[in-house]
Amino acid sequence: MTDNRMKRFSMRLWMKKVESVMEIIFSIFLACILIFLGMLLVWSPGKPNLVTDESGNPLVGSISEKIWVNINGVEQGMFIQSRDINNPVLLFLHGGPGMPEYFLTDRYPTGLEEYFTVCWWEQRGSGLSYSADLSPETMTVDQLMADTLEVTNYLRDRFHKEKIYLMGHSGGSFFGIQAAARAPELYHAYIGMAQMTYQLQSEKLAYEYMLQQYKENGNHKMAKRLEAAPPTMTVPLPAAYDSLRDPAMHGLGIGTTRDMKSVITGVFFPSWRSRAYSFREKVNIWRGKLFSMRLLRNTMFAADLTQQVTALDLPVYFFHGRYDYTCSYTLAKDYFEKLEAPVKGFYTFEQSAHSPIFEEPEKIRKIFQQDVLAGTNSLAEMK
């Protein structure tokens, strides 16, 4: 056998070995993917946990359900939980736009079901309420306002309540405060947590704070990246700033929660671990997030609520984390001072960033018990 033939023969043997190794690697990779998907399916029964007593038995008179209701022509999903179905009703409006929060209660239980029948509604185009068939033309502020009022009336009728409580978190507060202004007769009180005011101004303040902090703590790489990507006072925000916004905020503990260092580990992964959603519903959480952001975010960010809603004809409570720069703590305080209402209470959460309901639930419950349910403001530092 000549040298050339030997070389060609050796090359073919080497190629076959490489192919065999690649086939093994691919098979292992495929097996891992299939195992992972199988685990996700097993971990996705799509049923919320029952409300139980200390022995783990279903509590008599409690409710824990996931349902869909036709709201203005669209099937919209919600979780409803309570230790006592006769409790006052609380409608929770999640943030975003398009970011349901019920799955976060696995890690951050709120305990609100002790005092309320809590409805975790997932808004049109979000999570349980997302559908590929949903017309983008219906994704407007006016439509989501109408949906909020329709869900309110559904809850009033179902639980035989003349009025309910309304709580909006972050992006949910954008719709919540406007719904309360439009139909105050439907609500006992409005609670704004991480209340939006004028989000473009909030982004500017957050940017200035982050740039200063990263310079002071010696993270010159992040500081330079921020310097090269400032926000604007127009929408849409620059893509360069948008890509830095979440990691920069969470790196300083001024994002979703004080201890959350990454949206991936703090929000994305927990959404996939939740047993209350089916696999398809988990996919739709993120499809709905992108869908809603694309259609609603610019309108919400450009609106100045301090000019649109200047008075409310019902008790108003603002809950805000001291370290919240997602929705400015300073701007929320300024707005609160100017807002007219028969009863007002502003509450600072000293250990919280953007989500006091998950970060300081004990304090939240105390305020609900002593002030909100009583229609007073004895615990508030600003009235």
Q: Would you give the distance in Å from CA 200 to the centre of its chain?
A: 19
Amino acid letter for position 37: L
Span 74-103, average pLDDT: 97
Cα–Cα nearest to 144, from 126, 119, 132: 126
Q: Which residue has the tokens 């971990």?
A: 43
Cα–Cα nearest to 68, from 269, 278, 271: 278
Helix (H, G, I), strand (E, B) or coil at 340: strand
The pLDDT assigned to 180 comes to 98
Per-residue pLDDT at 9 exceeds 60: no
User: Residue 34 — pLDDT band, cuts 50, 70, 90?
Assistant: very low
Q: Please state, in angstroms and rounded to a whole number, the distance separating the CA atoms of residues 39 and 155.
A: 36
Which residues of the chain does CATH 3.40.50.1820 include? 66-197+275-372
Chain segment 183-196, per-residue pLDDT in tens? 999 999 999 999 99
> Tokens representing 37?
């998907």
Contact between 51 and 82 (Cβ < 8 Å): yes
User: Residue 54 — pLDDT band, cuts 50, 70, 90?
Assistant: confident
Span 104-114, average pLDDT: 96
Number of Cβ atoms within 10 Å of the Cβ of 33: 10
Cα–Cα nearest to 163, from 91, 112, 94, 115: 91
Q: Which residue has the tokens 């409570």?
A: 317
User: Residue 45 — pLDDT band, cuts 50, 70, 90?
Assistant: confident
Percent of the chain whose pLDDT exceeds 70: 89
Q: Please state, in angstroms and rounded to a whole number, the distance separating the CA atoms of residues 353 and 249.
A: 10
Angle, CA of 73, 75 and 81, to the nearest 5°: 130
Q: What does each C-alpha distance from 91 to 48, 187, 253, 329, 365 come to in angstroms?
A: 18, 10, 28, 23, 15
Number of Cβ atoms within 10 Å of the Cβ of 51: 17
Q: Please state, in angstroms and rounded to a whole number, the distance separating the CA atoms of residues 259 and 50.
A: 28
Cis omega (within 30 of 0) for bond into 88: no
Cis omega (within 30 of 0) for bond into 315: no
Chain segment 138-161, per-residue pLDDT in tens? 999 999 999 999 999 999 999 999
Contact between 324 and 260 (Cβ < 8 Å): no
Chain segment 282-321, per-residue pLDDT in tens? 999 999 999 999 999 999 999 999 999 999 999 999 999 9
Span 63-73, average pLDDT: 98
> Tokens representing 254?
């001024």
The pLDDT assigned to 27 comes to 46
Average pLDDT score, the chain = 92
Pick the CATH number of 66-197+275-372 from 3.40.50.300, 3.40.50.1820, 3.40.50.150, 1.20.1530.20: 3.40.50.1820
Span 276-283, average pLDDT: 96
Per-residue pLDDT at 246 exceeds 50: yes
> Tokens representing 11?
């090359």
Q: DSSP letters of 68-85? A: EEEETTEEEEEEEEES-T
